[in-house]
Amino acid sequence: MQEQAGFLNQRNRSPAGVAIVAGLHGAAIAALILFPPSFIVHEMPVFPLIPITETPPPPPVEVKEAPPVARAERPVTRPETEVATQTTNETIFTRTGTDDPKPIDPPPLPKGEEIVPPTAPVLTDAVIDPRVPFQPDYPARMARQEIEGVVVVRVLIGADGRVKAVEQVSTTDPAFFEATKRQALRAWRFRPATRDGVAVESWRTMRVKFEMQA
């Protein structure tokens, strides 16, 4: 079988062809070294930076108020009227709107009518019932020491005649006051005070004396 002829067949290569091919490759390499390809570089434009500053707010505008306009006072005219001023037992008529404060005579009453003055309420004071034990027990400590004393108290007497509260006014010793308070709340009874015949609450001051009996 015959071998095919071609450029790559080593048997058919000539020394001249090899030299030409080597020379072309060497020329190409030398051209690349001596004359390198230039590349076009596009530079981006550089813009200067502008600092951003805040704009200060405008100064406040001062608003001046207009001065108040004085108003002319109008004279006030008061009509003359008769006003009844009620007192305790009589009615006095005076004039208003004038400079004369003197009272004037009241209008006459119709015939057959009379002014009846109001009557004061009838009050009666509370009175202790003599049938109840009044004197408190003598405190044991004060009795052993043979100490005498006096107590003054204010008692609140209800409409039923019973003592509702006891307040100290003065005392020789607190033991005397405590004995008096117990006796008043427990045993004291009163005929209550009245107002126009109706029983009402009232306060009364009582004096209690503690004495050693011989």
Which domains can be identified in the chain, with CATH numbers? 124-210 (3.30.2420.10)
Tokens of 80: 């003359």
For the full predicted model, state whether its pTM sits above 0.85: no
- Cα-to-chain-centroid distance, residue 112: 62
In tens, the pLDDT along 168-205 reads: 999 999 999 999 999 999 999 999 999 999 999 999 99
In tens, the pLDDT along 127-171 reads: 999 999 999 999 999 999 999 999 999 999 999 999 999 999 999
Indicate if the pLDDT at residue 123 is higher than 60: yes
Cα dihedral sign for 36, 38, 39, 41? positive
Contact 179, 146 (CB under 8 A): no
Q: Whose CA is closest to 137, among 151, 157, 155?
A: 151
Say which residue the tokens 């005076």 belong to. Answer: 94
Coil, strand or helix: which one is 64? coil
What is d(CA 136, CA 185) in angstroms, rounded to the nearest whole number? 11
What is d(CA 174, CA 183) in angstroms, rounded to the nearest whole number? 14
Tokens of 20: 């030409």
